[in-house]
Structure 1
Amino acid sequence: MRPSNCTILILYYSRHGATRKLAELMAQGVESVPGCDARLRTVPAVSTVAEATAPDIPAEGPPYVELSDLEECDGLALGSPTRFGNMASAMKYFWDGTSTQWLAGSLAGKPACVFTSTSSMHGGQESTLLTMMMPLLHHGMLVLGLPYTHPELMTSKSGGTPYGASHWAGLNGDNPFSEETRTLTIALGKRLAETACKLRRAP
């Protein structure tokens, strides 16, 4: 019987499309590794109006994440735009509802990485990446960063950190993706997938 491929969950929230583009670049890196599949998922926006509800299926893009996606994945890439140096409330709201998976250890021992986009160059890229690591560490995940063996970390002027991939989207969210950002994001996805495959094969 042929073993199933490694599944890497790429979970993100995006308002204006920059973080979604990072997720797609991450998926390129994941799927460049033989035997690895990327599963793109998003989360619904959180409304300030208590009665407001989102449809079960998004109008566009990938479907909303389900808790079973966490249980089924072999690795996780987590992405959010920056909100005052922190992850967006929609992503935080999702993680606040994962106590059952935490108690069961569903994510323990699986590799993970993080990525973000900001409207200003110093809008909190690194602090947002660090805040996204917190729930992953509580879930027992093995958090990966980007090593300085990637020379783009030394030359990038638009994002990219050892904590994870990042992009300076600009005030209107329309700054183009630099070659450094593309290279680093794809490299992080590849590193995550390779690590997940190695861990899966380990006795």
Structure 2
Amino acid sequence: MPAPSARAKLLEAFVTILLEQGERAATLDAVAAAAGVSKGGLLYHFPSKDALVDGLAEHLETLAADDAELMRAAPEGPTAYYIRTSVFADTPLDRAIVATTRLSQTANPRARQALRRIHRGWLDALADEVTDPAAARAVMLIGDGLYYGAAMSGETNATPPEAVDELLEVVKRLTGAGD
């Protein structure tokens, strides 16, 4: 497997600093140092912190769009896929979501826009299966709750598989799936 590009290293360093130290610590100098890239190399890819945020938002949107496609293609259907994967597993997608959420908490408009877009993409994928818009939103909120609980606890296995199975039974009743 080829080594990650400088751009990818910079984005991962930005994410790591946001997750571990917060936005204030995520200066251009700190990101360059954490990525092992010169500041000039960082500025070549991201000429400002806003450009770095844009890069992270684009990266997140790409990862989430790929995930929405996996939802649509999942053998058990988008709803079950969404619920089963709504656990924090420290994947690149998870890390990008939490890092972008940290930026949105400081009213960063690009971060908020990215989060709205990925949410819309997942809701659209759920709506392919769940035709009642309120039921689709309820499924999304159940998944969001699972994700939030796991992400905030810092545990990747905060919800045992049997508890997810129980929630899927509730979701089936809510959405009328399997009738």
Task: Normalising by structure 1, report the TM-score.
Answer: 0.27
Identify the structure with the greater strand proportion.
1
TM-score (norm 2): 0.29
Looking at CA atoms only, which structure, 1 or 2, has the larger radius of gyration? 2
User: Which has the higher relative contact order, 1 or 2, with Cα contacts under 8 A spaced 6 or more apart?
Assistant: 1
Higher helix share: 2
